[in-house]
Structure 1
Amino acid sequence: MSTRAKTRTLPVSGGGVIKRTVLPGGLRIVTEAMPGVRSASVGIWVGVGSRDETPSVAGTSHFLEHLLFKGTRNRSALDIAMTMDTIGGEFNAFTEKEHTCFYATVLDQQLPVAVDIIADVVLNATITAADVDIERTVVLEEIAMRDDDPSDLVHDEFAAALFGDVPLGRSILGSEDSINQLSRKQIHGYYSRRYRPSEMVVSVAGNIDHAEVVRLVRTAFTGRLFDGDAGAEPRPDRRLHKVPARPVNVIADDTEQANIVLGSMGLSRFDERRFVLSVLTTAIGGGMSSRLFQQIREQRGLAYSTYSFTSSYAGDGLFGLYAGCQPGKADEVVSIMKAVLQSVASGGLTADEIERGKGQLCGGMVLGLEDSGSRMTRIGKAELTYGDVLGLDDLLGSVNAVTLEQVNDLADDLAAQQTCLTVVGPFGEHDFDAAV
């Protein structure tokens, strides 16, 4: 295998220069130079998440996110914390359905330290039995905290009702039973199999030099770039789920507020209509002028928080409307949600609404890229997800190219699908029998 790295500068405008290098073994490095800042953000993105888990190891990807901070062959957990505090850095991680990310933001001159520590954490974790037992309790507390927050719980329960008992339908956190049953051997085996450089992306943004970043990453990954790993099996690129597993899902809970999600299957992240869906979602419930916000909050005062959302994965996706309201108003809110969905189908949205949606999306994209952390996240996730990074101007162009006809056609397609209703509150399943 050749030891030479392959580097190219991406044709990007509207921001700093983005460069991409692929090291031997398949490790990808993407950087965006931001000469006007004094910070640097670095992330190691691992292409493994809760979707990759079998039922016997449900919650392992997130469990690992905790465990990797507990110590490596070179540093204790206290060493890691003290070093990051000494340089004034922020160090954290998060787990999603299809990836996990470990990231830090530091002063630009401290980038070598940040790269070294994050790579050490990701590559050299010890995962001792004692640490597994300690963090097991912490993860169980996190599950309990989620269960005590119905506005979070309703989204997990919606995915479970929509997709069923499959990886996409299961919580990223796992369940109490799955976390209690996980052994150190299972977790370490999962880590050894899945945390391969060929499945990783290193993204760095800020006041940085690409060649220097590549040198730092090469050093940090010494001995790990020629593992000969062929990589994980590709995820399905076709829709696996056509109808909700449970059209009505009520979680009985003695809460002061009913938390409601009404939605359906969405789009795959590879669907060419993903920008159309973003505009549609924003127009329906993405701002104060949106249909959902006006109908539920402004005109009737039924909820403080209401919005639309979408999530896209390989082959599958979801689309939904959320609202939190007094339990006695739940039927009225569900009825309005259904009416909003019906009203936007078959040409229901106006040209003005589409233009406001596009303007809000474009503004959010630009304003959301004002710091090195957000730019590191954008380029890292794009590289991991699509194998390429679109420039800001290209993204804005894709949004602005969306037409009213495309939005209304997609709205019609979504409206034709069977809906899925999930409610967390003081109800029984029978209370919503006629809701969908």
Structure 2
Amino acid sequence: MKGCSYNFWPRLVAALLAVLCLAGPLPAQEKFRRNPPYPDPLPSLVLPPVESEVIGNGLKLMVISRNNNRLFNLQVLIRAGESDSPAELPGLATATARMMLRGTASINPAEVEERLAFLGIEYSIEVQADYSIFSFSFLDENLEEALGLISLFFVEPSFPALELSAVKRELYYQLLRRNQDPENAGYDFFLKRIFAGSGYNPGILEAETIKNISTREVAQFHQRFLRPNNSIIIFNGQVSLAEARRLAAQNFRRWVPRPVERPSVQKLENRDLNQVCFLDVPGPEVAVIVGNLTVPIASPDYHPLLVLNHLLGGTTGSRLFLQLRELKGLAFYAFSDLSFFRGNGLYWIRAKTSPPAIVETMAAIQQTMRSLSEEKIAPEELERAKAYLMGNLPLQLQSPEALSRRIGLLELLELPPDFWARYSQNIMPVNADSVQVVARKYLSTRPLVVIAAEAAGTLDYLREFDKIDVYNRKGQFQGVFQKGVLKYENR
């Protein structure tokens, strides 16, 4: 026993000390988790120098000289997109862009594919509402041959009828699949309602009208908009401005300029929309889209809006996700985003939920938006949001393709040349007051709400709403749901 007693006390004292050491710092550790330190200052974003020049046919060259990467990226940007498609033929801009690489006057479609593969060219085509981007990546040693091939797509596209049939078929089934997803269908419908009556197409394609596109209309769209004086070509890699000038003049000399006229865009204002729309989309899932207009990207409100959006629903650490999913378990996810168009901008919230939880989900979204308008942001939450935004941009610019695209957007969106270089400097001054100002300006007005779900299993859960406009899956108005009764439009 004496032996045991002798060994027991030192061990007991040591154990008590250990417990005290562990217990003592706990409140401080918890406080640290609740109030993390301010982030260290981030280094300035240093972008490679960009040189530019306009050659004889009006084609603008932009050269990003890099000597540390053998991967070359070449992009051709066109100031034309789906907003330039005829109102009766949405999808023409997209179909035309996809047809550009489907054969030329001197190379048939099969040979095009062979030469692209032989030169190791990876490409992508992006058509937005206001612009189109053709991006080509390959090894820098293949620059001359690659540019010789790429130039033919713009100088002498042939638009074979058989290839157009294939393009239309691909587009048709892609749109059908897209519209089967409630969130995609709901967002497209949301955009239509936001821009209704403005004469502007924010990039919405219609599966049923794709089949009406002809080779004649594709050729006319190309003749009208895909002109060198309406285009920008970006060289990103080991090349000088003088070399880029020589290559562009040599390969694009037959690309003939023509006057390009684009209609002006109506400036739309943030206002009380105060409408709830139900889009009947088959399936068990429910998507809720909430949003309103803001301002164009060039507005002074842009950087405070970025911070506000991050606080609202930019990531899984933002308020919407934490409130709706983590805390209340109402939604599978909830995020917010900003979209920008020529002359306009908008914010939109998307949440995926279940029919019984729709009303509570919308109430939680409304409360989260209201809190940002009525309450000042805590300093630590604000600094975390700003640090994320400033630290994330350099990650988005790591690939040559992403860097080219960002530089090109400066021209397409008519932004200052140092817009991205000064990004952090413009985010840093954003404070709680400026965030609250934009929150009150854009989140306080009553938004447009779109609920995309199957009507048969969902409308019964929406009896609390005074009025819901009901549309079928094609976006055609069907009737009004009031106090639990669906009143069909008189036919």
**TM > 0.5 fold call:** yes
- 1:305 corresponds to: 333
1:217 correspondence with 2:245: no
Q: In the superposition, relative to structure 1, how do residues 323 and 36 fare at CA in structure 2: closer, same or farther (>3 Å)?
A: same
Partner secondary structure for residue 260 of structure 1: strand
Unpaired runs of 5+ in structure 1?
1-11
Q: What CA distance in whole angstroms lies between the structure 1 residues aligned with 2:202 and 2:343? A: 16
- 2:191 corresponds to: 159
Correspondence for 1:110 among 116, 119, 142? 142
- 1:419 corresponds to: 447
1:98 correspondence with 2:126: no
Give the TM-score taking structure 1 as reference length.
0.89
- 2:35 corresponds to: none
* Greater RCO (CA < 8 Å, at least 6 residues apart): 1
Q: What CA distance in whole angstroms lies between the structure 2 residues aligned with 1:395 and 1:290? A: 21
| Residue type of the alignment partner of 1:235 | S
1:115-152 deviations in Å (ceiling 9; x for gaps): 23332213321113333223221211111111122232
- 2:70 corresponds to: 38
1:352 correspondence with 2:374: no
1:141 correspondence with 2:141: no
Q: What CA distance in whole angstroms lies between the structure 1 residues aligned with 2:55 and 2:374? A: 50
Instruction: Give the C-alpha shift of residue 184 in structure 1.
Output: 2.2
- 1:258 corresponds to: 286
| Residue type of the alignment partner of 1:319 | Y
- 1:3 corresponds to: none
Instruction: Give the C-alpha shift of residue 99 in structure 1.
Output: 0.5
Partner secondary structure for residue 181 of structure 1: coil
Count of residue pairs the alignment pairs up = 421
Instruction: Give the C-alpha shift of residue 288 in structure 1.
Output: 2.7
Correspondence for 1:233 among 262, 265, 268? 262
1:13-72 deviations in Å (ceiling 9; x for gaps): 713221111223432111222222121111101010111223122211111122112111
- Segment drifting more, 335-344 vs 301-310: 301-310
Instruction: Give the C-alpha shift of residue 339 in structure 1.
Output: 0.9
| Residue type of the alignment partner of 1:81 | E
Q: What CA distance in whole angstroms lies between the structure 2 residues aligned with 1:232 and 1:406? A: 38
Q: In the superposition, relative to structure 1, how do residues 22 and 277 fare at CA in structure 2: closer, same or farther (>3 Å)?
A: same
Partner secondary structure for residue 421 of structure 2: helix
- 2:356 corresponds to: 328
Instruction: Name the larger-Rg structure.
Output: 2
| Residue type of the alignment partner of 1:76 | N
Where in structure 2 are the equivalents of 1:15-54 lying within 5 Å? Answer: 15-54=47-86
- 1:176 corresponds to: 207
- Segment drifting more, 147-156 vs 240-249: 240-249
1:368 correspondence with 2:399: no
- Contact 1:52/1:167, CA 8 A, preserved across alignment: no
1:190 correspondence with 2:240: no
Q: In the superposition, relative to structure 1, how do residues 139 and 125 fare at CA in structure 2: closer, same or farther (>3 Å)?
A: same
Instruction: Give the C-alpha shift of residue 193 in structure 1.
Output: 0.6
| Residue type of the alignment partner of 1:36 | N
Q: In the superposition, relative to structure 1, how do residues 149 and 220 fare at CA in structure 2: closer, same or farther (>3 Å)?
A: farther
Partner secondary structure for residue 284 of structure 2: coil
Give the TM-score taking structure 2 as reference length.
0.80
Instruction: Give the C-alpha shift of residue 242 in structure 1.
Output: 5.1
1:321-372 deviations in Å (ceiling 9; x for gaps): 1111222222221111111111111444333222222111111111111111
Q: What CA distance in whole angstroms lies between the structure 1 residues aligned with 2:214 and 2:272? A: 33
Correspondence for 1:316 among 320, 335, 344? 344
Unpaired runs of 5+ in structure 2?
1-43, 469-491
Partner secondary structure for residue 182 of structure 1: coil
Q: What CA distance in whole angstroms lies between the structure 1 residues aligned with 2:453 and 2:277? A: 11
Q: What CA distance in whole angstroms lies between the structure 2 residues aligned with 1:46 and 1:101? A: 6
Q: In the superposition, relative to structure 1, how do residues 390 and 92 fare at CA in structure 2: closer, same or farther (>3 Å)?
A: same
Q: What CA distance in whole angstroms lies between the structure 2 residues aligned with 1:245 and 1:70? A: 44
Q: In the superposition, relative to structure 1, how do residues 346 and 198 fare at CA in structure 2: closer, same or farther (>3 Å)?
A: farther
- 2:314 corresponds to: 286
| Residue type of the alignment partner of 1:389 | P
1:230-263 deviations in Å (ceiling 9; x for gaps): 4323633x62355577822211123222111111
1:271 correspondence with 2:303: no
- Contact 2:234/2:404, CA 8 A, preserved across alignment: yes
